[in-house]
């Protein structure tokens, strides 16, 4: 209760009941799981449709249909993310980064899609799994490219004076193997949760102001703010997918070569 405004409890905003099964069973299926499944199936379907060999329709190499969209998206990830951060060596990790980008983007964009209005990444489980996956991935890339020396190279960058090593090793150990996955997960989760709460706040405000009193005069401003924030949240959904992918690319790139 703030100024006569009935704000719902946080559990009501982010916790969804299972469609079948009791709470806490492993096969429970709720809205978040549905959104994640849609993100998975939609991404796979669009990519499979685009990959069908239909380019040589009338003897030209002009792409048609969903292939246009997918080609521009893949070239955005290749030119805008991998070439800018890792370089040509990183192109072999394009499939991982592309699937990461699209899974996060579609999970986020459900924040503004009617009847869903819930970003899948506003629950910690999704971002945590994605961050853990990225963590395993960049350690595996480091082991593949540098062997077991990767761990030593990443905690003690070459060129650091010997006297500084006792100070550098704990800091680097903490920042590379603990802070990286933690901040990846928390960044995505907190951004989406904050956006969700923001939209809920203005929706509640609009519903409260929708009355036959003088307060209804404020309603247009509140509603305009809600529409504006919806646009802003579409941008945030895109930006967070972009930032997660670009950070994954930077981490993978940094474990390919010893820092110097």
Which residues are at the interface with another protein (CB under 8 A)?
A: 9-10, 80-81, 84-85, 183, 186-187, 189-191, 193-194, 239, 242-243, 246-247, 250
**Residue 193 or residue 258: which is nearer to another protein going by CB?**
193
Nearest distance, CB of residue 88 and another protein, angstroms: 16
From the CB of 187, what's the least distance to another protein, in Å?
6
| Long-range own/partner contacts, residues 9-16 (CB < 8 A, 24 or more apart) | 10/197, 13/196, 13/197, 13/200, 14/118, 14/122, 14/123, 14/193, 14/196, 16/118
Of the pair 108, 191, the CB lying nearest another protein is at 191
Q: How many residues appear in the chain?
A: 260
Q: Nearest distance from residue 117's CB to another protein, in Å?
A: 19
Given the complex with another protein, which of 174 and 194 has the nearer CB atom?
Answer: 194
Give the single-character DSSP code of 8: P
Pick 187 or 257: Cβ nearer another protein:
187
Cα(131)–Cα(97) distance, integer angstroms: 12
Q: State residue 176 phi and psi, 5-degree precision.
A: -80, -45
Q: What is the DSSP string of 178-245?
A: IIHHHHHHHHHHHHHHHHHHHHHHHHHHHHHH-SSSGGGGGHHHHHHHHHHHHHHHHHHHHHHHHHHH
Q: Considering the complex, what minimum distance in angstroms separates the CB of residue 12 from another protein?
A: 11
| 67 versus 181: smaller Cβ distance to another protein | 181
Smallest distance from another protein to CB 244, Å: 9
Among 101, 119, 121, 98, CA closest to 110: 119
């Amino acid at each position: 209760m703030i100024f006569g405004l009935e704000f719902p409890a946080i559990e009501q905003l982010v916790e969804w009941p299972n469609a079948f099964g009791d709470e806490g069973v492993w096969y429970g299926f709720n809205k978040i799981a549905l959104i994640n499944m849609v993100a998975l199936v939609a991404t796979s379907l669009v990519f499979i449709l685009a990959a069908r060999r239909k380019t040589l329709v009338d003897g030209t190499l002009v792409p048609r249909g969903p292939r246009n969209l997918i080609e521009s998206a893949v070239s955005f990830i290749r030119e805008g993310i991998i070439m800018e951060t890792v370089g040509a060596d990183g192109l072999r990790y394009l499939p991982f980064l592309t699937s990461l980008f699209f899974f996060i983007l579609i999970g986020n964009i459900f924040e503004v899609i009617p009847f869903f209005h819930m970003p899948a990444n506003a629950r910690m489980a999704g971002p945590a799994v994605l961050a853990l996956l990225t963590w395993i991935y960049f350690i595996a890339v480091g082991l593949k490219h540098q062997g077991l020396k990767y761990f030593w190279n990443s905690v003690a960058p070459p060129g650091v004076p010997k006297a500084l090593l006792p100070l550098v090793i704990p800091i680097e150990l903490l920042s590379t193997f603990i802070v990286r996955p933690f901040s990846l997960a928390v960044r995505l989760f907190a951004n989406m949760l904050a956006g969700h709460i923001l939209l809920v706040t203005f929706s509640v405000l609009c519903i409260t102001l929708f009355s036959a009193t003088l307060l209804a005069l404020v309603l247009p401003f509140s509603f305009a703010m809600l529409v504006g924030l919806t646009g802003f949240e579409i941008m945030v959904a895109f930006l967070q997918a972009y930032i997660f992918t670009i950070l994954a690319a930077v981490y993978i790139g940094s474990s390919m070569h010893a820092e110097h």
